[in-house]
Amino acid sequence: MLTVTDIHSYYGKSHVLEGVSLTVNKGELVTLLGRNGAGKTTTLRSIVGIVSPRQGSITFDGSETVGMETFEIARRGIALVPEHRGIFRMLTVAENLEIAVRSGSQWSLADVYGLFPRLWERRKNGGNALSGGEQQMLAIARALVNGPRILLLDEPTEGLAPVIVDELVNILREIKRSGVPVLLVEQNLNVCRKLADRHYVLEQGQVVYHGTAAEFDADPTIRDRYLALSA
Residues interacting with another protein, by CB under 8 A?
48, 50, 69-71, 74-75, 79-80, 82, 86, 88-91, 95-96, 98-100, 102, 142, 146
Q: Which helix (H) or strand (E) holds 54?
A: none
C-alpha–C-alpha distance, residues 121 and 99, integer Å: 19
Rounded to the nearest whole angstrom, what is the least distance from the CB of residue 92 to another protein in the complex? 9
Q: Which is nearer to another protein, 75 or 193 (CB)?
A: 75
Q: Which helix (H) or strand (E) holds 192?
A: helix 189-195
Rounded to the nearest whole angstrom, what is the least distance from the CB of residue 9 to another protein in the complex? 16
Rounded to the nearest whole angstrom, what is the least distance from the CB of residue 49 to another protein in the complex? 9
Rounded to the nearest whole angstrom, what is the least distance from the CB of residue 190 to another protein in the complex? 28
Q: Which is nearer to another protein, 182 or 213 (CB)?
A: 182
Task: Please give the single-letter amino acid code of residue 211.
Answer: G
Rounded to the nearest whole angstrom, what is the least distance from the CB of residue 201 to another protein in the complex? 26
**Strand residues in the chain grouped as ranges (E):** 2-11, 14-24, 29-33, 55-60, 63-64, 78-81, 150-154, 182-185, 198-203, 206-212
Q: Which is nearer to another protein, 137 or 213 (CB)?
A: 137
Q: Which is nearer to another protein, 154 or 186 (CB)?
A: 154
Q: Which is nearer to another protein, 95 or 203 (CB)?
A: 95
Q: Are 158 and 83 in contact (CB under 8 A)?
A: yes
**Strand residues in 25-165 grouped as ranges (E):** 29-33, 55-60, 63-64, 78-81, 150-154
